[in-house]
């Protein structure tokens, strides 16, 4: 592949690319004009950096309809903060969807092995991947949840779980339940009512179209976890205890001010572009992609003929060809997709794709076009002719 060849980028679930132009501009500008250390001193650059953090936090709260937002370096750290800060006890029951990322699955497995929590899988239909709310209501009555952890959008299959309904069912069964939603793939696309949700984790570099190095938690209720990381905050330095409230409790260490600037630019772009415009464009392309792939003989889409709402992620396999070979062949044609397990082995076990090496995942963004979908279809059709 020639380095000058334009890449048809269809791996936006890993990270959105390209970013809005303002993200590049503002990240470059911040170190040239206001690269101070936010909250560390009263000098002009430090104050300017602190104002940038405060403005970005306010923009995030508005976009996510959240009363409080704290930042973290990644969604993985944010998820760990909530899970380990929940003070779960031996015998507590934690419910998960079949689609959780290892950033949820591995912390819970650690607590299962070391603490003795109980991890239960929520009921979803294996063929359609539709959530069975009636069965879940019955399960909650038998074993009330201490916590539920659900990905709003599966990073493997693009399934939108009914998280608002699940949160309500969980709170009806157990008023003190902690409801954690992984919104890494949805925070820029799908609005959520946070009335029954304790923590919504977001990732700056995915559906928010921002840079790496910035993520966080949108708190919807009064519950707060114990701190996960301890260190300097620039405030109350005389105390060896972390601050007892506010964002400082979870934001130890210097802020990644360049990433904050990039997220600010992305959030402004999201507002100006409009959530509906972004969602409608991506949904239209997703429908085109699904229909086009379904029309190619030898291609199997997951899930097939589902009634569940779908996002920008579409996974498929070609009969008799490993997903890794398909990824490599598409890459040779300057088409970027991702093959494998996508850090979500539960999802592939659920879909019976674990032993075949996972799936080929395509994922779209606002910057993709119908021509990108057609280029993928033509490349796959060519592969099928030589399979």
pLDDT for position 387: 66
How far is it, in rounded angstroms, from Cα 324 to Cα 353?
A: 13
E strand or H helix at 63: helix 44-64
C-alpha torsion 357→300→345→141, nearest 10? -160
pLDDT for position 53: 95
pLDDT for position 307: 63
Predicted TM-score (pTM) of the model is 0.95
Q: Which two tokens stand for residue 161?
A: 């779980």
pLDDT for position 297: 87
C-alpha torsion 220→103→210→264, nearest 10? 40
Bridge partners (DSSP) listed for residue 218: 69, 200
How far is it, in rounded angstroms, from Cα 189 to Cα 244?
A: 33
Strands (E) across 22-61 are located at none
Residues of the chain with pLDDT under 50: 1
Residue pointed to by tokens 């060896």: 240
Domains annotated for the chain, with CATH where assigned, are: 8-19+275-386 (3.90.1150.10), 26-272 (3.40.640.10)
Q: What are phi and psi of 219, to 5 degrees?
A: -90, 130
Please tell me what DSSP assigns to residue 83.
Answer: H
Q: Which two tokens stand for residue 135?
A: 């069965």
DSSP string of 336-386, one letter each residue: E-EEE-TT-HHHHHHTT-TTTT-EEEEE--TT--HHHHHHHHHHHHHHHHH
pLDDT for position 385: 85
How far is it, in rounded angstroms, from Cα 313 to Cα 365?
A: 10
pLDDT for position 316: 96
Closest CA relative to residue 21, chosen from 366, 311, 338, 280: 366
pLDDT for position 305: 65
How far is it, in rounded angstroms, from Cα 24 to Cα 21?
A: 5
How far is it, in rounded angstroms, from Cα 118 to Cα 106?
A: 14
pLDDT for position 173: 97
Work out the angle between the directed axes of helices 275-294 and 257-273 (0-180°, nearest 10).
Answer: 80
pLDDT for position 170: 98
Closest CA relative to residue 69, chosen from 255, 271, 250: 250
For residue 284, is the peptide bond before it cis, meaning its omega torsion is within 30 degrees of 0?
no
């Amino acid at each position: 592949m020639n380095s000058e060849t334009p890449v048809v980028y269809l791996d936006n679930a890993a990270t959105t690319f390209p970013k809005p132009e303002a993200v590049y501009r503002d990240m470059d500008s911040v170190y040239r004009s206001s690269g101070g250390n936010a909250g560390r001193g009263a000098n002009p650059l430090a104050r300017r950096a602190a104002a940038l953090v405060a403005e970005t936090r306010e923009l995030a709260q508005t976009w996510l309809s959240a009363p409080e937002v704290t930042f973290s370096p990644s969604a993985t750290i944010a998820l760990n903060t909530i899970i380990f800060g929940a003070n779960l006890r031996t015998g507590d029951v934690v419910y998960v969807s079949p689609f959780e990322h290892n950033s949820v699955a591995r912390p819970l497995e650690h607590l299962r092995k070391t603490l003795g929590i109980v991890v239960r899988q929520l009921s979803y239909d294996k063929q359609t991947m539709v959530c069975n709310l009636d069965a879940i209501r019955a399960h909650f009555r038998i074993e009330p949840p201490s916590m539920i952890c659900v990905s709003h959008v599966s990073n493997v299959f693009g399934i939108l779980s009914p998280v608002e309904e699940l949160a309500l069912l969980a709170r009806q069964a157990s008023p003190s339940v902690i409801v954690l939603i992984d919104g890494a793939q949805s925070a820029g696309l799908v609005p959520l009512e946070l009335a029954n949700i304790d923590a919504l984790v977001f990732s700056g570099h995915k559906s928010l179209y921002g840079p790496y190095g910035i993520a966080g938690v949108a708190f919807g209720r009064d519950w707060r976890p114990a701190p996960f990381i301890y260190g300097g905050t620039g405030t109350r330095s005389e105390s060896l205890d972390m601050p007892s409230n506010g964002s400082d409790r979870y934001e130890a260490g210097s802020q990644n001010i360049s990433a904050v600037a990039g997220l600010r630019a992305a959030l402004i772009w999201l507002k100006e572009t409009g959530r509906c415009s972004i969602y409608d464009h991506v949904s239209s392309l997703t429908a085109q992609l699904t229909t086009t792939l379904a029309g190619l003989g030898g291609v199997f889409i997951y899930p097939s003929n589902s009634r569940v709402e779908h996002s920008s992620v579409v996974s498929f396999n070609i009969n008799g060809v490993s997903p890794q070979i398909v990824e490599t062949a598409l890459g040779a044609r300057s088409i970027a997709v991702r093959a494998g397990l996508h850090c979500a082995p539960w999802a592939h076990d659920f879909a019976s794709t674990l032993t075949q090496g996972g799936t080929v995942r395509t994922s779209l963004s606002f910057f993709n076009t119908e021509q990108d979908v057609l280029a993928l279809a033509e490349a796959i059709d060519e592969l099928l002719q030589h399979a």
